[in-house]
Structure 1
Amino acid sequence: MTAFKDLNLSSALQKSLEELGYTTPTPIQISAIPLLLQGQDVAGQAETGSGKTAAFGLPILQGVDTSLQQVQALVIVPTRELAVQVRQELKKYGKYMENLKISAFYGGHSFSQERASLAHPPQVLVGTPGRLTDHLNRKTVDMGMVKQLVLDEADKLLEMGFEEEIDQVLAAMPRKRQTILFSATMPDDVKELISNSLKNPQFVKASANAIPDQVKLVGIKVEHHDRKEVIVNLLKSVDPAGTVVFTNTRIAADELAALLQEQGIAVKALHGGMEQVDRDKTMTLFRNKTTQVLVATDVAARGLDIAALQNIIHYELPIDAAAYLHRSGRTGRAGKSGTVYTLATPRDEKQLREWEQVRMDEWLSASTLKEKAPKAAVPAASSFATLHISGGRKDKISPRDIVGALIAEAGLKVDQIGKIEVQDRMSFVAVPHAQSKSIAEKLSEGKIKGRKYKVNLVR
């Protein structure tokens, strides 16, 4: 069996992989990494959870010259959420590379901050097409030294209508470069993009099945007017922590989230109608388990790697099998188990049977689910609350500093402290819900790394 140590990666990358607990590469990594290290163009068909970020990210980082402050590698992604996620993943892999700078540029983020950061350009830039062309039009970014280009989730890029922006970015780059493309599906427009943008590409494929074998798929037979009662019963009968419920519209997401809140469930909506800062906050609350359930539109279906995710619920069936597979593939990642529940009306049931690539392991009736759900109980609210700290990476704050302050100022023990996220100008930490108000006050009155910061509860 191939191990990461057999892939000829640098010692700095090997060290971070060992620290992350990565030992055995996934099939797409075994196929793609050697080809990319040889400098070849690669077109990969890789589904959600296949490990494609490491498949292109590790060779990119290996090729970066950290002594040069120039954009040397560019990763184009379709959404803001994916830009942030890819940057975070690459930073983990490149943790032990000295002087490495990785930036993410995307809409909803301060353009002036991005422009100011280009005074010392990143070696690796991750961005959405619209924001990248905005920088090119204003001549704030130089793509002239880019050696490696990644088009990630190419089918989504084209589906969202970014052809012109991609053409403009490609025109600003050197012709002599390595181009890497990954896509979950290979429709004709993606094949045309490969033909126009890659030179003698090597094709690699992860798997024909987008839903991992360790994921259990359960269909629940419902009538349309019973769906709200059924989903409440479902969430009462399982551990709701780490659940994403998918709807097809923003209105449905907001209405369902409000209904579940009334049932005592720690739930938030997530959709494209929200401001970026609110979407980011919602994702932080979900990752650190303050929020147990997300009710989301397909904005969350592609590219979001959420380690805490246990259950997927299709409250409404998406438009096609590909969307169903992408939603369902959010769970069961990196070998973990998970469950996908689908609320299916008679019409939906017929549609599911027509989607040949979709399997169903078990069918339940709504009445069976009602019997399984505790009669009066509601899911326990989250045991964590989240604190917002007005300082972050730019203030030289590390997770260790936050842990030290919580112990010294608030009297917490290490095992009482939940997930910590340190961003550029702010940080978030999960603390025991029952003591959260007192902890926030004590931390505000005290100091973190010798300085005072504003500390507030995130609601």
Structure 2
Amino acid sequence: MMLKKYNLSEDFLENINSLGYKKLTQIQSLSLPLSLENNDLIAQAKTGSGKTVAFCIPLVQKLDVKKYKIQSLVLAPTRELANQIAEEIRKLSRHIHNVKVLTLSGGTPFKPQVVSLEHGAHIIVGTPGRVLQHIHETKIDFGNVDTLVLDEADKMLDMGFNDDIMKIIDFIPKERQTLLFSATYEENIENLSKAILNNPKFVKTDDVHEKDIINQTFYEVEERLKTSLIPNLILQNNAKSILIFCNTKIKCEELADELYSYGIDVLTLHSNLEQRDRDETLILFSNRSYPVLIATDVASRGLHIDDVDLVINYDIPRDESVYTHRIGRTARAGKNGLAVTLFEKDEFFKVEPIKEKFEEIKFEDFKNIKTFEDYKIDSEFRSLIIIGGKKQKLRAGDILGALTAGIGLNKEDIGKINILDFVSYVAIKKEVLKKALNGLQKRKIKNKSFKVFEK
């Protein structure tokens, strides 16, 4: 990685190199010379551009580990993204002893976060609502914060966090560095930037000049025929990872039952799920253990899942802003996407505003959808659940080693490995799933026995 010119310590450079970062991405090349010189920065870059590393390196470089005060605050739109950022900071700071990175986000119990705060922290990563709650209820001290990062600022504003962000900033020193990262730079982001940044530098990657290419097709179809179209739409488009949106949690469950009767394994995501179940659902879908996820808008807000091949609006959304959010789940990380919307004749009034916003929408006859007599819609992987995680000092490398060197699986047989506090998930190709399950149940990992189940 070409970072020597940035005056980072040898230990820091060695750690970065050990993480496999061989060369800078464009957003890193553009932003690091400015952010490492303590400039305020507005960086426009898409998901998958390497922006997390771009703002984490300056945070770690500035960190004074002997000063046991909160020195940096990172705000993100969702719990999932906050966890990803915190994990990246921990990796980048491995060469420094006793760095405390704390995540404060909704969807997790409040009291354990209060206890963790009592023990102190160097860096806080959180969602605006939960951070503001801690300001009011636990009197968290941000008086020593010298760096504020807003990641995916456009999404935070779309989710209604503008007021929360401004209230949080009232509790942070005015003399600070502020780094704002956003995929878009529209009027709302410009107004926020003017309010909170001081003489910022502006950088933009080339790919933001190119619009995400999402092929959008609308079909007018009666309600009773919708479900029967789903398998054919999936197969016609050769989709392996499919996200279906319904307007209600009841419809999510009804559709899941109907698709299951077609022999399709599906997951559902809606507001009735506990956070633990929500986390598991997202892991199983993102690691491609299940081909289809059916979700409501509330539950899916801020989803960070790459490589969704096809988005299907089973129910047409209530307005064009919700539609924009839905189809944005595909065409991520620089890839093209596909979105299909089903609507009934008397719902055309909902179609009109969407049609005005997206001129490239195609309207086609649902009778032209190819019919497949024999079909199989399934995933290449399934997941094993190991009852042990970070709290038991389990690492992805430990699990990988047990499966390869220990049991004899090939690396190609193993998909994503997700380590949570008390449980771990590993995606395994279905043809070797039983071998992996039996092997892990009979042998130890790190000289410890763990319960293992198939999911």
| Pair in the same fold by TM > 0.5 | yes
Pick which of 68-77 and 433-442 moved more: 433-442
CA contact (8 A) 2:28 2:51 kept: yes
Q: Which amino acid aligns with 1:359?
A: E
| 1:395 CA drift (Å) | 1.8
CA contact (8 A) 1:115 1:140 kept: no
Q: Supply the distance in 2 between the matched residues of 1:238 and 1:7 (Cα, whole angstroms).
A: 47
Partner residue, 1:23: 23
Partner residue, 1:404: 401
Against the structure 1 CA distance between its residues 191 and 122, is the aligned structure 2 distance closer, same or farther, given a 3 Å change threshold?
same
The CA deviation string for residues 257-291 of structure 1, in whole angstroms up to 9 with x for no partner, is 33322222232122344221111101111122211
| 1:427 CA drift (Å) | 1.3
Unaligned runs of 5+ in 2: none
Three-state SS of the structure 2 residue aligned to 1:418 is: strand
The CA deviation string for residues 129-174 of structure 1, in whole angstroms up to 9 with x for no partner, is 2322333334364322211112334444345444554344323322
Q: Supply the distance in 2 between the matched residues of 1:453 and 1:334 (Cα, whole angstroms).
A: 36
Q: Which amino acid aligns with 2:414?
A: I
Q: Supply the distance in 2 between the matched residues of 1:414 and 1:29 (Cα, whole angstroms).
A: 30
Against the structure 1 CA distance between its residues 401 and 82, is the aligned structure 2 distance closer, same or farther, given a 3 Å change threshold?
closer
Partner residue, 1:40: 39
Three-state SS of the structure 2 residue aligned to 1:118 is: helix
Against the structure 1 CA distance between its residues 349 and 169, is the aligned structure 2 distance closer, same or farther, given a 3 Å change threshold?
closer
The reply on whether 1:173 has 2:167 as its aligned counterpart is no
Spell out the pairing of 1:49-68 with structure 2 (5 A cutoff): 49-68=48-67
CA contact (8 A) 2:48 2:333 kept: yes
Partner residue, 1:343: 341
Spell out the pairing of 1:254-403 with structure 2 (5 A cutoff): 254-298=253-297, 303-319=302-318, 323-335=322-334, 337-343=335-341, 345=343, 347=348, 350-356=352-358, 359-360=360-361, 364-369=364-369, 371=370, 373-379=371-377, 381-403=378-400
Pick which of 386-395 and 156-165 moved more: 156-165
| 1:447 CA drift (Å) | 1.7
Q: Which amino acid aligns with 1:25?
A: T
Spell out the pairing of 1:212-231 with structure 2 (5 A cutoff): 212=212, 215-225=213-223, 226-231=225-230
TM-score by length of 2: 0.83
Partner residue, 1:193: 192
Aligned residues: 447
The CA deviation string for residues 303-336 of structure 1, in whole angstroms up to 9 with x for no partner, is 544344333334344455555444444444444x
Q: Which amino acid aligns with 1:197?
A: I
TM-score by length of 1: 0.82
Q: What RMSD over aligned residues (CA atoms) do the two structures have, in Å? A: 3.5
CA contact (8 A) 2:77 2:152 kept: yes
Q: Which amino acid aligns with 1:393?
A: K
Against the structure 1 CA distance between its residues 308 and 365, is the aligned structure 2 distance closer, same or farther, given a 3 Å change threshold?
same
The CA deviation string for residues 55-107 of structure 1, in whole angstroms up to 9 with x for no partner, is 43333333223444432211112322232233244445555555444332112
Q: Supply the distance in 2 between the matched residues of 1:359 and 1:403 (Cα, whole angstroms).
A: 45
Q: Which amino acid aligns with 1:265?
A: I
Against the structure 1 CA distance between its residues 131 and 247, is the aligned structure 2 distance closer, same or farther, given a 3 Å change threshold?
same
Against the structure 1 CA distance between its residues 179 and 129, is the aligned structure 2 distance closer, same or farther, given a 3 Å change threshold?
same
Partner residue, 2:73: 74
Pick which of 154-163 and 422-431 moved more: 154-163
Pick which of 156-165 and 223-232 moved more: 156-165
| 1:183 CA drift (Å) | 4.1
Unaligned runs of 5+ in 1: none
Partner residue, 1:8: 6
The reply on whether 1:129 has 2:128 as its aligned counterpart is yes
The CA deviation string for residues 336-385 of structure 1, in whole angstroms up to 9 with x for no partner, is x34312225473664444115x635x66542222x2x4213231x33432
Q: Which amino acid aligns with 2:125?
A: V
Q: Which amino acid aligns with 1:56?
A: F
Identity across the alignment (%): 36
